[in-house]
Structure 1
Amino acid sequence: MTRLSMATATAALLVLVACGSERQPTNAGAEEPHEGEHEERAGFVALTPDALADLGIEIAVAEESVVGDTADLPAEIRFAADRLAMIVPRVGGVVHAIDATEGDIVDAGDVLAVLDSGRLASLVSAYKEGEAQERYAQATYERKRRLLDQGVTSEAEFAEARQAAAGAAARREAAETALHAAGVDHDRIEALASSPDGAAGRYRLTAPIAGRVIERHLALGQSVQAGEDGGSPAFVVADDAVVWADVQIYAVDLDRIRESQPVRLSDRSGTIVAEGEVAFVTPQLTEGTRTATARVVLPNENGRLRPGQYVRASIEAGSGATAVTVPSEAVVRVEGEDVVFVPEGDGYLAKPVRTGRTAGGRVVIEDGLASGDSFVASGAFTLKAELEKDAFGGGHAH
């Protein structure tokens, strides 16, 4: 038996003895206790209302709740794949101008760089030629139709003109499609087609999404290849307003992890940096590590979470059972025992409890505290310090 339990039992025995001797004559010379004095009690801290307010003691009522089973696993913060753009030129060329660099905030459609591209110039030339041929073929077709109506030309000549017009339209459409495939929209096509010599080959590399430029791999005068020819990204733009936390799930934990389970992420110091829930669990295991991935989608408007950052993920994989739980900070160690402080009279008594597992910042109380009992939810460490001070002769009245 610990000192606290022994002292508690001794105090109870003294109370019984005192009750059995109530009718015994008292010593006339005995000194009565003065008003305001407190009988020494093991584990008891007496506090005045003013001291109670100063120490920030908060009282709560114990209640049953669903008990979680926490899985503590490694995780890494990543850019959300749908908010990351690898920008590769669709045509090769030589860098003519650079309009953005690392750290710049850009909007969708903003120009990042301009290339002088012979390939683009050829595409524009083919489009202009196609337009001219289409106009000529269409004019010929219209003339042949009028002549046919007047009986001047034959059906064969009219059919030939109609076929030529359709072919010219198809070739012009093919040239336009090739420009679209190169990343040139319709308005830009018209601008390039009417531009002066030398400007028709100016290829504008634009941002497909809004975000921040996190990589730039271009220099003025540099020759770059198109993506289909093996070219690498010239820019990388990312929007980190939403990020992913990819949690590494070991095979032994897979049966416990499900979608929608609450997740807490903490840094190396143990500080909670984000909270969310499991959005997706991969069905397959990675060959090298034999692990699966649980993904958590997290808002990151303040930029606190940085892609590449390693964190710890606590996933609450509850079984559905209920039990009395209290905040972890409500349980302290006094003389080798777990205790919670409960209000009693004008103070607080350290009450021994038997604890179970911890989940989600709460401790299961298996014995010593029942549902509906009042206890100190915040300030237990302060009361412990007061109790230890009293043990060294600091007194009880505060």
Structure 2
Amino acid sequence: MSVVVIASISVLAACGKPPGGAPPAAGTPEVGTLSVQPQRVVFTTELPGRTVPFLIAEVRPQVNGIVLKRSFTEGSDVKAGQVLYSIDPATYKATYENNVAALAKAQATLISTRLKRDRYKELSAVNAISRQDYDDAVASVGEGEADVSSARANVESSRINLAYTRVDAPISGRIGKSSITPGALVTASQSTAMATIQQLDPIYVDVTQPSVALLRLKKAMAQGDLEKSGASAAKVRLRLEDGSFYPLEGSLEFSDVTVDQDTGAITLRAIFPNPNATLLPGMYVRAVLEEGVKDQGLLVPQQAVSRDSTGKPQAYVVGKDDKLERRDLETDRAIGDQWLIRSGLNAGDQLVIDGLQRAAPGVTVKTVPWQAPSVTQATAPSDLH
């Protein structure tokens, strides 16, 4: 009875088809594959840099004197032409008024000498006076005109010095701390600045790039491996000290024409809008620059690429009759968690991603589509990497 029941169950099981088809043959490994497809790859480089003020002006006195008043709040925004300090103007005002009086005297004397010259001219015509007297009168007029010009220059000089007792802001921007207090004595063109003004909107970011990287980029473009990325080539993004990205995009201003002999680097300067003064001078940042574009780039997950005993990269693809083929690769660079393949793979190849433990050339495998692992909130890469 038992033998009959077992035989009946075996016949019924043989008549039914399990869902999903027959199981793979014993010993046939299952691999996850991905169809390699060309895509547009944008090349970027991340370079260290420092923020630099767009404009900077150190405020220094142009005349000597005692500071009577400071007319700004430290750390505030000031406008060009705004009064910052007032220096005692008493001596400069007196000098100015004295020079104005000297000018008036010289002008009055010039009027008298001109009248005398005109009279002597008429008398000399009828030989009423000697020719020498007339020549002396003419020379006196020239001397008087020179005196007037000199007095006028003295007035202008004293006026400028009097105006310098009012120390104005040379540029608009944010002013720092004051090194001078009311009552302090200042001297003309002293080495210590009274205060420093910096324009922060927009703001510069100076970054350095190794000269060898620039040469490699130019070579790739000359060979046709890369193309210029068009109007967006000059766009720059900024990663801040805390790892977050600055919300506003900047643009590349210029590249230095000289290589630093000590570091072998070239300085690049980018400019960023800074309406909220988020970027302050001297901050350490990282600039992300777009270098070029490869229209038909092949990107593959790094886990699909292994290395042989000599360190050369290789990968497996599923060929005819579901058999594995080993390909020797030439990689260009790592972009995120993927390799950019220069040679060794073709568009449409079924690249093996998972199940490489038993992989060997000629092994027959069963393929299933590879699914990229989902990234949970706890394991998501942060901007700090």
Shorter-chain TM-score above 0.5: yes
2:202 pairs with 223, 239, 242, which one? 242
Paired position in structure 2 for 1:285: 260
Give 1:304's match in structure 2, choosing from 269, 273, 278: 278
Matches within 5 A, 1:1-398: 30=16, 64-65=39-40, 68=43, 70-80=44-54, 83-117=55-89, 120-121=92-93, 123-125=95-97, 127-148=99-120, 151=123, 154-179=133-158, 182=161, 184=163, 203-227=165-189, 230-253=190-213, 255=215, 262-273=235-246, 274-285=249-260, 287=262, 289=263, 291-318=265-292, 322-324=295-297, 336-337=303-304, 357-358=333-334, 364=340, 367=345, 384-385=373-374
Deviations 1:204-245 (A, max 9, x none): 000111122123221110011110xx3421121121112111
Q: Distance in 1 between matches of 2:373 and 2:216?
A: 38
Q: Give the partner amino acid of 1:357.
A: R
Is 2:53–2:198's contact at 8 Å kept on the other side of the alignment?
yes
State the structure with more CA Rg: 2
Is this contact kept in 2: 1:224–1:231, CA < 8 A? no
Q: Write the distance in 2 (CA, Å) between the matches of 1:246 and 1:224.
A: 35
Residue identity opposite 2:153 in structure 1? A
- The equivalent residue for 1:379 is none
- For residue 294 of structure 1, give the secondary structure of its aligned residue in structure 2: strand
* Superposition TM-score, scaled by structure 1 size: 0.58
Question: CA shift at 1:43, angstroms?
Answer: 6.7
Give the aligned residue type for 2:52.
Answer: R
Q: Tell me how far apart the structure 1 counterparts of residues 193 and 56 of structure 2 sit (CA, whole Å).
A: 12
Cα separation, 2, equivalents of 1:235 and 1:137: 47
Percent identity of paired positions between Structure 1 and Structure 2: 23
Q: Deviations over 1:34-64 (max 9, x none)?
A: 9xxxx9x9879xxxxxxxxxxxxxxxxx764
Instruction: Give how far 1:101 is off.
Output: 2.7
CA distance in 2 between counterparts of 1:257 and 1:158 reads 81
**Gapped regions of structure 2 (runs ≥ 5):** 1-11, 24-29, 219-227, 306-328, 349-370, 377-385
Aligned counterparts of 1:73 and 1:105: Cα–Cα separation in 2:
31
Distance in 1 between the 2:180 and 2:155 partners? 28
Alpha-carbon distance, 1:332 to partner: 7.0
Please report the TM-score for the alignment, with normalisation by the length of structure 2: 0.59
Taking a change above 3 Å as real, the CA distance of residues 171 and 148 of structure 1, as seen in their structure-2 partners, is: same
Three-state SS of the structure 2 residue aligned to 1:124 is helix
* 3-state SS in 2 of match to 1:139: helix
* Secondary structure of the corresponding residue to residue 239 of structure 1: strand
Whole-Å separation in 2 of the counterparts to 1:266 and 1:170: 61
1:300-353: CA deviations, max 9, x gaps? 2232221110012334444x7543367xxxx878xx559xxxxxxxxxxxxxxx
1:115 is displaced (CA, Å) by 0.4
SS in 1 for 2:150: helix
Q: Once superposed, what is the RMSD of the aligned Cα atoms?
A: 4.4
- How far apart are the structure 2 equivalents of 1:143 and 1:278? 66
* Cα distance in structure 2, aligned partners of 1:143 and 1:136: 11
- Which AA in structure 1 matches 2:16? A
**AA partner of residue 49 (structure 2):** A
- The aligned counterpart of 1:199 is none
Gaps of 5+ in 1: 1-25, 45-61, 185-201, 339-353, 371-381, 388-398
Structure-1 separation of matches of 2:266 and 2:261:
6
Are the counterparts in 1 of residues 48 and 286 from structure 2 also a CA contact under 8 Å?
yes
